């Protein structure tokens, strides 16, 4: 059960009601090994195939382009590094400065990086990306569909890459909420961000893409996957994705407007604040701010005490003590940073309640340090 | 925290006041900058020395938000990162 003040769906959304029903039913029906020819095995295989078809249908791709993975992070690693392994040109990955750390870690582990910067909104210049892709030994370009911290949607559809340089797109932040862009050879998603269970990632590999498994293989129903399939979770993830896609015209419009309210109210009612990310071309459900002179950890803690659960990208709240590389690349204030992301049932009253407590709270935290 | 004149700024201009924020985390360097802005005359340079990596982004961002000029980054006498600001108002 979500509290009204749980405004951190971008970190992990609660299970969608549609996924809950399917999960409970599938736990009893989908336990067996889907490779086995006996009755229970055939039942599990049927559920797995259903999940694949429902997912493909929701995303507008072919069922044989869909692979379920143990996490979104693993899907990113597999998708990106598989394209690197399949490349005839080389192992340099041109990627934007605002990619998720899963992309950056994959590149650091198994490729070489060439980073392309972004503007103040975190938006990447596709011409600069395409230009960088012309360099020798560039095997893959990586560009996210939308940024997970600041909501800015990237112009993936406008990207025109040289022949032989495939695109990997990390769609984890947007999958289900926005249609997939075109032009990619491999893509990744993460079920717990759209209201599916955690532990289900989605790897999409286009039929004609040069993708080679970068990790040890296995002998599963799907040759790109490894390990025993979590059939109930995968089926629940697919059911949730279908539901979210069916709801998104209505939910997206409603959430986009609610985020407009939050952005407008915070900018008007709290002095010395930076409203971060593209105001229009953005994810519908996510708003990010940086408050001058405020410690991000203190802000998160105080909001929690008042019943609001939100995330922060400030260094003081991270294990690394370095600021968010996304905020850094954008050149926006990294301290006092908070990210609010709406749940599917968040109302105008909920966002107003957040906006109502914020000005006094920020003032109080500033007063503590004499500001 | 000590406050004293620093060595000249990036273009050889004198730095009227240098704030030692070497050992304090974000957002303290920016808070100190804001507190001491009024200690230098309009047009003069003010610098903050800070090892916290967030200062490299936050000092220029503060200048943009508060309509001050970010002159540039260099190093203090001991090699610690220093960020130089011109008071515009």
CA A79 to chain centre: 14
Task: Compute the 3-state secondary structure of chain B and give helix, strand, coil in percent, each to the nearest 5.
Answer: 25, 30, 45
Closest C-alpha among A227, A244, A225 to residue A52: A225
Residue A100 near residue A170, CB atoms below 8 Å: yes
- Contact B25/A at CB under 8 A: yes
Measured distance CA(A184)–CA(A180) in Å, rounded: 9
Q: Which of A276-280, A309-313, B77-81 is predicted with the least confidence, judged by mean pLDDT?
A: A309-313
Check whether B30 has a pLDDT greater than 60. Answer: yes
**Percentage of chain A with pLDDT > 70?**
98
Residue A153 is classified by DSSP as B
Q: Which residues does A contribute to its contact with B (CB < 8 Å)?
A: 272, 274, 290, 292-295, 314-316, 321-323, 327-328, 331-336, 369-371
- How close does chain A come to B62, measured CA to CA in Å? 7
Q: How far apart are the first and last CA of chain A?
A: 38
- Contact B73/A at CB under 8 A: no
Measured distance CA(B59)–CA(B47) in Å, rounded: 10
- pLDDT score recorded for residue A120: 97
Report the residue from B31, B52, B53 with minimal CB separation from A293. B31
Band of pLDDT at residue B51, cut at 50, 70 and 90: very high
Read out DSSP for A313-368?
-SGGGSSS-S--HHHHHHT---TTEEEEE--TT--HHHHHHHHHHHHHHHHHHHHH
Residue A16 near residue A232, CB atoms below 8 Å: no
Six-digit token string for A304: 């929690």
**Phi and psi of B47, rounded to 5°?**
-130, 150
| Higher per-residue confidence, B9 vs A343 | A343
- pLDDT score recorded for residue B7: 83
Six-digit token string for A149: 């911290």
Instruction: Please list, residue by residue across A123-158, b when 16 or more beta carbons sit within 10 angstroms of its beta carbon and e when fewer do.
Output: bbebeebbebbeeeebbbbbbbbbbbbbbbbbebee
Q: Are B26 and A371 within 8 A, CB to CB?
A: no
pLDDT in tens, A285-300: 999 999 999 999 899 9
Band of pLDDT at residue A173, cut at 50, 70 and 90: very high
CA A53 to chain centre: 22
pLDDT in tens, A156-166: 999 999 999 99
Check whether A318 has a pLDDT greater than 80. Answer: no
Q: Are B54 and A370 within 8 A, CB to CB?
A: no
Name the residues of B annotated as catalytic. Answer: 26
Closest C-alpha among A123, A137, A184, A185 to residue A159: A184
pLDDT in tens, A221-245: 899 999 999 999 999 999 999 999 9
Residue A107 is classified by DSSP as H
* Mean pLDDT confidence for A45-65: 98
Check whether A1 has a pLDDT greater than 50. Answer: no
Name the residues of A annotated as catalytic. Answer: 316
Residue A354 near residue A346, CB atoms below 8 Å: no
User: Cα angle vertex A35, ends A197, A185, to 5°?
Assistant: 60
- pLDDT score recorded for residue A320: 57
- pLDDT score recorded for residue A317: 53
Check whether A315 has a pLDDT greater than 70. Answer: no
Closest C-alpha among A348, A184, A340 to residue A257: A348
Q: Are A274 and B34 within 8 A, CB to CB?
A: no
Check whether A34 has a pLDDT greater than 80. Answer: yes
Tell me the domain boundaries of chain B.
1-26+35-44+67-89
Secondary structure of A37-101 in the HEC alphabet?
A: CCHHHHHHHHHHHHHHHHHHHHHCCCHHHEEEECCHHHHHHHHHHHHHHHCCCCCEEEEECCCCH
Check whether A88 has a pLDDT greater than 60. Answer: yes
Check whether B27 has a pLDDT greater than 60. Answer: yes
Report the residue from B26, B30, B56 with minimal CB separation from A316. B26
Q: Which of A290-294, A310-314, A340-344, B28-32 is predicted with the least confidence, judged by mean pLDDT?
A: A310-314
Q: Are B57 and A328 within 8 A, CB to CB?
A: yes
Measured distance CA(A35)–CA(A3) in Å, rounded: 41
Query: Mean pLDDT of all residues in chain B?
Result: 93
Q: 3-class DSSP state for residue B34? A: helix
Beta carbons within 10 angstroms of residue A266's beta carbon: 21
Whole-angstrom CA distances from B11 to A333, B46, B84 are 26, 14, 11
Check whether B3 has a pLDDT greater than 90. Answer: no
Number of A–B residue contacts, CB under 8 Å: 67
Check whether A196 has a pLDDT greater than 90. Answer: yes
Check whether A205 has a pLDDT greater than 90. Answer: yes
Check whether A197 has a pLDDT greater than 90. Answer: yes
- pLDDT score recorded for residue A321: 67
Measured distance CA(A339)–CA(A8) in Å, rounded: 8
* Ordered domains of chain A (ranges, CATH): 17-243 (3.40.640.10), 248-368 (3.90.1150.10)
Six-digit token string for A254: 């409603």
Beta carbons within 10 angstroms of residue A112's beta carbon: 14
- pLDDT score recorded for residue A254: 98
- pLDDT score recorded for residue B11: 80
CA A33 to chain centre: 30
- pLDDT score recorded for residue A316: 57
Q: Are A292 and B60 within 8 A, CB to CB?
A: no
Report the residue from A321, A333, A370 with minimal CB separation from B58. A333
């Amino acid at each position: 059960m979500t509290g009204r003040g749980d405004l951190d769906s971008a970190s992990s959304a609660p299970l969608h009601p549609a996924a809950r029903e399917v999960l409970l039913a599938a736990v009893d029906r989908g336990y067996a090994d889907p490779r086995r020819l006996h009755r229970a095995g055939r039942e599990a295989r049927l559920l797995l195939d259903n999940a694949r078809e429902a997912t493909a249908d929701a995303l507008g791709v072919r069922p044989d382009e869909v692979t379920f993975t143990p996490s979104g992070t693993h899907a990113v690693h597999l998708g990106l590094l598989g394209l690197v392994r399949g490349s005839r040109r080389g192992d340099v990955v041109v990627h934007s400065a605002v990619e998720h750390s899963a992309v950056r870690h994959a590149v650091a582990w198994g490729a070489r990086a060439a980073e392309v910067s972004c503007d103040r909104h975190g938006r990447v210049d596709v011409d600069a990306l395409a230009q960088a892709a012309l360099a020798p030994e560039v095997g893959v370009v990586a560009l996210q569909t939308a940024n997970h911290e600041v909501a800015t949607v990237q112009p993936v559809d406008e990207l025109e890459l040289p022949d032989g340089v495939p695109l990997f797109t990390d769609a984890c932040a947007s999958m289900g909420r926005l249609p997939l862009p075109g032009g990619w050879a491999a893509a990744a998603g993460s079920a717990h961000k759209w209201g599916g269970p955690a532990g289900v990632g989605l790897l999409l590999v286009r039929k004609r893409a040069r993708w080679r498994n970068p990790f040890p293989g296995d002998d599963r129903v799907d040759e790109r996957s490894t390990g025993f399939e979590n059939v109930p979770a995968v089926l629940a993830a697919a059911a949730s994705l279908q539901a979210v896609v069916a709801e998104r015209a209505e939910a997206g419009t409603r959430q986009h407007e609610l985020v407009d309210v939050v952005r407008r109210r915070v900018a008007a009612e709290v002095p010395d604040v930076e409203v971060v990310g593209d105001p229009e071309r953005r994810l519908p459900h996510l708003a990010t701010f940086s408050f001058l002179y405020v410690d991000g950890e203190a802000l998160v803690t105080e909001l929690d005490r008042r019943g609001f659960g939100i995330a922060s990208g400030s260094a003081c709240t991270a294990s690394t003590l370095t600021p968010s590389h996304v905020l850094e690349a954008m050149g926006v204030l990294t301290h006092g940073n908070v990210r609010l992301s709406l749940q599917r049932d968040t109302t105008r009253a909920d966002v107003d309640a957040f906006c109502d407590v914020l000005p006094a709270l920020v003032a109080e935290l500033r007063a503590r340090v004499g500001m | 925290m000590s406050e004293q004149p620093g060595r000249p700024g990036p273009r050889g201009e004198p730095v009227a006041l240098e704030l030692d924020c070497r050992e304090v985390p974000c957002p303290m360097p920016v808070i100190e900058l804001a507190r001491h802005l009024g200690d230098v005359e309009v047009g003069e340079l003010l610098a903050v020395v800070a090892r916290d990596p967030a200062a490299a982004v936050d000092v220029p961002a503060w200048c943009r938000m508060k309509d001050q000029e970010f002159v540039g980054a260099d190093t203090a006498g001991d090699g610690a990162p220093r960020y130089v600001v011109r008071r515009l108002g």
